[in-house]
Amino acid sequence: MKLQDKVAIVTGAASGMGKQIALLYAQEGSKVVVSDLNLEGANTTVEEIQSKGGQAFAIQTNVAMEEDIQSLIDTTVKTYGTVDILVNNAGIMDNFEPAADIKDENWERIFAINTTSVMRSTRKVLPIFLEKQEGVIVNIASAGGLYGARAGAAYTASKHAVVGFTKNTGFMYAQKGIRCNAIAPGAVETSIASTMTNINQFGASRQQRGMRINPRAGKPEEIAKVALFLAADDSSFLNGTVITADGGWSAY
């Protein structure tokens, strides 16, 4: 098994890509910390892992709160002794707002969840990784972090920031046995659309132009396989980079 005896934290693991990553990591031998704001959903993920003989526990985490990030890492170390893999998957969409329509509170909330949480969790695990001289970080970015109009301005900016943070972290710690990479999924069949509450019609009309050339939507399980590759030794020479997983959408 590719992750035998590893300890992995997966945020946003109650559903969608995070859930499938957690299930696959457990299948490959990892102990998994299933983190999500939705504790009931996180517990369901844990039950599925345990029903197949895997090891996992659930923890409720609001990734926008620094104290919750601290508790997530500390509880993992207390329970399993260490952390080997961190998957920063938790995220929310904006409502396709273009720049003129952004409200400060929405901008700050999107960045808190999509970007600042990635920094804080990375900052928290790095002392553990540095002491061991090994560790893996997998950030779930987005095609929106590579191109200009896969979403609204706030989401796009937040994911561009994740891409930049990933590259910087990967390079900075490359000689310390630490790897940090990201996945940029295209359209994937998840519940993230439920985080959209009041869609901006102008922004959506502009964003939809690009959807017409999208070959298909992906499955969460397909993204999980990429996350497994990045967590395992198979990708030992990949660091500070982004894998685009979008079925060819951006190849046009």
- Residues with active-site annotation: 155
Confirm if 52 and 27 have CB atoms less than 8 A apart: yes
Inter-helix orientation angle 153-172/117-132, to 10°: 10
> What is the C-alpha separation between 198 and 96, in angstroms, rounded?
9
Distance of alpha carbon 149 from the chain centroid = 20
Q: What are the tokens at 197?
A: 């509450």
Confirm if 231 and 8 have CB atoms less than 8 A apart: yes
> What is the C-alpha separation between 156 and 178, in angstroms, rounded?
27
Cα angle, residue 68 at apex, residues 64 and 69 outer, rounded to 5°: 80
Give the position of tokens 């190849």.
Answer: 251
**Helices and strands: H and E segment counts in the chain:** 8, 7
Strands (E), the chain: 7-11, 31-36, 56-60, 85-88, 135-140, 178-185, 242-245
